Structure 1
Amino acid sequence: MKQALIFLENVALRPMLRRAAYARKQGYACYLIYSPLKEFEQAALAEMEADLGMHLFERIETTTCFELPHLRNLVRSIASEADVKGLTGMLGLFTVDGLLGAHTATLAAELGVPTQNPDALYRANNKYLMRDALRHAGVPTVDFGMAYDEQTAVEHARRIGFPVILKPVTGAASHLILKCEDEQQVIERFRMALEKLPTSANASIYEGAHVYADRAGVEHQFDPLKGMLVEGYLSGREASVEMVITEQEAVPLLVHDKIVMTEGERVFYEHLLVVPPMRFTDEEVQQMKDYATSAVRALGLQNCLSHVELRYDDRLGPQILEINPRVGGMCVADSLEALVGFDVLKAQVEQATGTFELQDAYPVKDEKYGMFTLYPPHSGVFEAVEGLEELNQLPGMVFSRLVYPIGTKIDGDDEEVFLLMCWVRGDSYESIIETYEQAERLVTFSVRKEEKASQEV
Structure 2
Amino acid sequence: MSWFVLVESNTTGSGRVFCERARELGLRPVVLARDPARYPYVAADGVEARQVDTGDPAVVLSACRRLGGQIAGVTSSSEYHIATAAEVARRLGLPHPDPGAIRACRDKAVQRAVLREAGVPSAAFAPARTPGTAVAAAQRIGYPVVVKPVAGSGSVATRLCRDAAEVEAATHHVLNTDGLPPQSAVMVEEYLRGAEYSVETFDDQVVGVTRKHLGAEPYFVEVGHDFPAPLDPAARAAAGELAHAALKALELCWGPAHVEIRYGAAGVRIIEVNPRLAGGMIPRMVEEATGIDLIRHTVAKAAGRDEPLRATRERAASIRFLVADREGMLTGIDGTKAAARVPGVVEVGFTRAPGQYLVLRRSFQDRLCYVIAAADTGPAAARAATTGLHALKAHITT
Q: State TM-score, norm by structure 2.
A: 0.91
Cα 1:427–1:355, aligned 2, differ >3 Å: closer, same or farther? closer
Q: Write the distance in 1 (CA, Å) between the matches of 2:174 and 2:276.
A: 27
Q: Write the distance in 1 (CA, Å) between the matches of 2:369 and 2:397.
A: 17
Q: Kindly indicate whether the alpha-carbon contact (under 8 Å) linking 1:377 and 1:447 is maintained by their aligned counterparts in 2.
A: no
- The Cα shift of 1:169 comes to 1.0
Question: What's 2:177 paired with?
Answer: 198
Q: Kindly indicate whether the alpha-carbon contact (under 8 Å) linking 2:221 and 2:362 is maintained by their aligned counterparts in 1.
A: no
Q: Kindly indicate whether the alpha-carbon contact (under 8 Å) linking 1:253 and 1:340 is maintained by their aligned counterparts in 2.
A: no
Amino acid in structure 2 at the alignment position of 1:251: Q
Specify the SS of the correspondent of 2:192. coil
Cα 1:13–1:269, aligned 2, differ >3 Å: closer, same or farther? closer
Question: What's 1:300 paired with?
Answer: 251
- The superposition leaves residues 416-446 of structure 1 with CA deviations (integer Å, 9 ceiling, x where unpaired) of 2332121112354444444344344331212
Question: What's 1:416 paired with?
Answer: 364
Q: 2:39 aligns with which of 29, 38, 41?
A: 41
Answering whether residue 229 of structure 2 is matched by residue 242 of structure 1, we say no
Q: Kindly indicate whether the alpha-carbon contact (under 8 Å) linking 1:147 and 1:153 is maintained by their aligned counterparts in 2.
A: yes
Q: Kindly indicate whether the alpha-carbon contact (under 8 Å) linking 2:330 and 2:397 is maintained by their aligned counterparts in 1.
A: yes
- The Cα shift of 1:347 comes to 0.6
Question: What's 1:147 paired with?
Answer: 128
Cα 1:227–1:349, aligned 2, differ >3 Å: closer, same or farther? closer
Question: What's 1:110 paired with?
Answer: 91
Q: Kindly indicate whether the alpha-carbon contact (under 8 Å) linking 1:133 and 1:299 is maintained by their aligned counterparts in 2.
A: yes
- The Cα shift of 1:13 comes to 7.6
Q: Kindly indicate whether the alpha-carbon contact (under 8 Å) linking 2:14 and 2:281 is maintained by their aligned counterparts in 1.
A: no
Question: What's 1:63 paired with?
Answer: 52
- The superposition leaves residues 23-51 of structure 1 with CA deviations (integer Å, 9 ceiling, x where unpaired) of 2232223333112233x734x234324xx
Q: What 5-or-longer segments of structure 2 have no aligned partner? A: none
Q: 1:401 aligns with which of 349, 352, 365?
A: 349
Q: Kindly indicate whether the alpha-carbon contact (under 8 Å) linking 1:397 and 1:424 is maintained by their aligned counterparts in 2.
A: yes
Question: What's 1:128 paired with?
Answer: 109
- The Cα shift of 1:233 comes to 0.3
Q: Kindly indicate whether the alpha-carbon contact (under 8 Å) linking 1:333 and 1:344 is maintained by their aligned counterparts in 2.
A: yes
Aligned pairs, number: 397
| RMSD, aligned α-carbons | 2.3
Q: Kindly indicate whether the alpha-carbon contact (under 8 Å) linking 1:122 and 1:129 is maintained by their aligned counterparts in 2.
A: no
Amino acid in structure 2 at the alignment position of 1:307: H
Q: Kindly indicate whether the alpha-carbon contact (under 8 Å) linking 2:227 and 2:378 is maintained by their aligned counterparts in 1.
A: no
Q: Write the distance in 1 (CA, Å) between the matches of 2:78 and 2:208.
A: 21
- The Cα shift of 1:86 comes to 1.1
Q: 1:312 aligns with which of 255, 260, 263?
A: 263
Cα 1:188–1:77, aligned 2, differ >3 Å: closer, same or farther? closer
- The Cα shift of 1:411 comes to 3.8
Q: 1:333 aligns with which of 256, 263, 283?
A: 283
- The Cα shift of 1:149 comes to 2.0
What does residue range 177-196 of structure 1 map to in structure 2 within 5 Å? 177-194=158-175
- The superposition leaves residues 308-346 of structure 1 with CA deviations (integer Å, 9 ceiling, x where unpaired) of 111111x32221122121211223222222333212232
Q: Kindly indicate whether the alpha-carbon contact (under 8 Å) linking 1:126 and 1:169 is maintained by their aligned counterparts in 2.
A: yes
Q: Kindly indicate whether the alpha-carbon contact (under 8 Å) linking 2:292 and 2:311 is maintained by their aligned counterparts in 1.
A: no
- The Cα shift of 1:294 comes to 0.7
Q: Kindly indicate whether the alpha-carbon contact (under 8 Å) linking 1:303 and 1:351 is maintained by their aligned counterparts in 2.
A: no
Cα 1:155–1:41, aligned 2, differ >3 Å: closer, same or farther? closer
Cα 1:406–1:325, aligned 2, differ >3 Å: closer, same or farther? same
- The Cα shift of 1:7 comes to 1.8
Cα 1:13–1:287, aligned 2, differ >3 Å: closer, same or farther? closer
Answering whether residue 62 of structure 2 is matched by residue 90 of structure 1, we say no
- The Cα shift of 1:193 comes to 4.3
Q: Kindly indicate whether the alpha-carbon contact (under 8 Å) linking 1:10 and 1:35 is maintained by their aligned counterparts in 2.
A: no
Q: What 5-or-longer segments of structure 1 have no aligned partner? A: 50-55, 94-99, 208-223, 450-457
Answering whether residue 386 of structure 2 is matched by residue 447 of structure 1, we say no
Answering whether residue 188 of structure 2 is matched by residue 230 of structure 1, we say yes
Question: What's 2:63 paired with?
Answer: 74
- The superposition leaves residues 228-256 of structure 1 with CA deviations (integer Å, 9 ceiling, x where unpaired) of 210100111111111001xxxx1110111
Q: Kindly indicate whether the alpha-carbon contact (under 8 Å) linking 1:7 and 1:87 is maintained by their aligned counterparts in 2.
A: yes
Cα 1:10–1:387, aligned 2, differ >3 Å: closer, same or farther? closer
Cα 1:432–1:7, aligned 2, differ >3 Å: closer, same or farther? closer
Question: What's 1:256 paired with?
Answer: 210
Question: What's 1:53 paired with?
Answer: none
Q: Give % identity.
A: 23
Answering whether residue 212 of structure 2 is matched by residue 276 of structure 1, we say no
Cα 1:381–1:299, aligned 2, differ >3 Å: closer, same or farther? farther
Q: Write the distance in 1 (CA, Å) between the matches of 2:390 and 2:30.
A: 44
Specify the SS of the correspondent of 1:263. coil
